[in-house]
Amino acid sequence: MKIVVDENMPHALELFAEFGEVIPLPGRQMQAADLQDADVLLVRSVTRVDAELLATSPRLRFVGTATIGTDHVDKTLLAARNIPFFSAPGCNKYSVGDYVLSALLVLAERHELNLREMSLAVIGAGNTGECVARKAEALGMRVLRCDPPRARVAGQAGETGAFVDYQTALGADIVSFHVPITREGPDATFHLLDGEAIAARPAGQILVNASRGEVWDNQALLARQQGLEPLRLVMDVWEGEPEPLRALVPHTEIATPHIAGYSLEGKARGTWMLYQALCQQLGRAARQDLQSLLPAPEVRALTPGQPVDQALIKQLVHLIYDVRRDDARFRNRIELPGSFDEQRKHYPERRELSSLHVSGPFASDTLARLGFTVQPG
């Protein structure tokens, strides 16, 4: 069996070698010729799986993406060719949640904000959006959820009050976007934050995009940011990746190269979910487990010496992941050719909050809800 994988997919060699030959290739440069005798194709979001890529792949019988989003895959084509397709829903939701939490704590310190007194809206309340929402609730924030498809299902079931409409959500102090990119239909998300919505936002409002770059109109954002009343932007994704609108970067609070979901656990979890799916597809028992893939964290355990407040939470979160590291690397290297993909390919090791075990009398439920592993005592 020949298995073609994105070279940036962690642990692919260890997990899939038991099935056959594993061929790692640059995801953005995969071509049809690479798949002529491939049985399995495993990708990430940078590879477009379409008719052009699959033009000469008669042996292909399994396609998987180690990502939550699937907009880069022509699922209709795969179904027509009877090729099973698998994704990794929720694989990096904790990683993205940690990213948003880290960024909000940076902005809270920078602008002297009390997050407990603020509201946050998540646009898209799926796996990732809900994870962000729960972390915000753990901080004591008032959380609004906007998700029209889920709202319709809830309405049909007679459940009301769980969701707000888009315009209401845009009125929150902080608005965080966690939607797939869709260009058609009643819930299309392409330029969901368009020029009109951008112009209407109050000065200083915090907007976060850790979903897809095309969800925001980047040119309209640049025009707004060059005016007298800029917004506070946290941007992990960009229109035109891997060539973001460079002029917009200096006008952001936090800017990173599409790495919100790049925790060690998140990436390993995505690969492992595809490993499980292939085992199931072939009728084989899984021989490996997720935890065996992960190294011991640099900091394993900690005992707080005071009750939990925003300052202590910031210290603990940034001990594990401080988003300013990725922001600084991105800004420093933005002018280097190919730096966007290079930073993704050689991304430094980063753990999720769950890697830190917090114990002692101040190991509160708040810390557990934020994602730390808590051992009260």
Instruction: Write down the domain spans for the chain.
Output: 2-87+263-292, 93-255, 296-376
The reported pLDDT for the residue numbered 166 is: 97
Residue 291 has a pLDDT of: 82
pLDDT at position 158? 77
**41-89: per-residue pLDDT in tens?**
999 989 999 999 999 999 999 999 999 889 899 999 999 999 999 999 9
Q: Which residues pair with 41 in a beta bridge?
A: 4, 63
**CA dist list (Å): 110 to 103, 106, 210, 309:** 11, 6, 21, 17
In this prediction, residue 156 carries a pLDDT of 83
Bigger pLDDT: 71 or 215? 215
Mean pLDDT of the chain: 95
10 Å CB burial of residue 57 (0-12, 13-18, 19+) is: buried
What is the helix (H) or strand (E) element at residue 343, kind and residue range? Answer: helix 339-345
pLDDT score at 150: 93
- C-alpha to C-alpha distance for 9 and 65, rounded to whole angstroms: 10
Is residue 377 scored above 80 in pLDDT?
no
The two three-digit tokens of residue 172, written as one number: 């929150």
Closest CA to 187 of 132, 150, 236: 150
- Encode pLDDT of 153-198 as tens digits: 988 887 777 899 999 999 999 999 999 999 999 999 999 999 999 9
For the stretch 256-285, pLDDT in tens is 999 999 999 998 999 999 999 999 999 999
Q: Range with the lowest mean pLDDT among 112-116, 295-299, 320-324?
A: 295-299
Mean pLDDT score, 341-347: 93
> What pLDDT score does 69 carry?
83
pLDDT band at 343 (very low <50, low <70, confident <90, very high): very high
CA–CA distance, 118 with 232 (Å, rounded to integer): 15
Predicted confidence (pLDDT) at residue 335 exceeds the cutoff of 90: yes
Of 87, 98, 121, 70, nearest to 259 by C-alpha is 98
Q: What's the CATH number of domain 2-87+263-292, 3.30.1330.80, 3.40.50.720, 2.60.40.2480, 3.30.70.100?
A: 3.40.50.720
Q: Check if CATH label 1.10.287.3510 holds for domain 93-255.
A: no
pLDDT of residue 179: 96
pTM, to two decimals: 0.89
> Is it the case that residue 289 has pLDDT exceeding 90?
no
Positions annotated as catalytic residues are 212, 241, 258
Architecture of domain 296-376: 2-Layer Sandwich (3.30)
